[in-house]
Amino acid sequence: MLKGGVIMDVVTAEHARIAQEAGACAVMALERVPADIRKEGGVARMSDPTLIRSIMDAVTIPVMAKCRIGHFVEAQILEAL
């Protein structure tokens, strides 16, 4: 389904709508852009579930989100969305 498409990193519902209109086949809901996280020496955490839900409500393309390895409670929260 996603072969040959572009998956865009987004941090807001508006970014997700723009990505969809530009032809993205899916979006990755993130708290912050990975380049900014690396620049500041931080770690990637799961995005706020309300942000993920707002992105899901804003677009019709698939929305993906990350959770940290081994954090099964975060995974359960994502599954519930």
Helices assigned H by DSSP within 1-81: 13-21, 34-39, 49-58, 72-80
**What global pTM score does this model have?**
0.80
The first and second tokens of residue 65, run together, are 């989100």
How many Cα atoms within 13 Å fall on the side-chain side of residue 77?
A: 16
Stronger pLDDT, 47 or 34, i.e. the higher one: 47
In this prediction, residues 53-59 reach a mean pLDDT of 97
Amino acid at residue number 7: I
C-alpha span between 77 and 42 (Å, rounded): 23
- Would you name the residues annotated as active-site residues? 66
For residue 72, how far is the Cα from the chain centroid? Answer: 18
pLDDT tens by residue, 66-80 = 887 888 898 898 889
From the list 21, 19, 22, the residue with the least C-alpha distance to 30 is 19
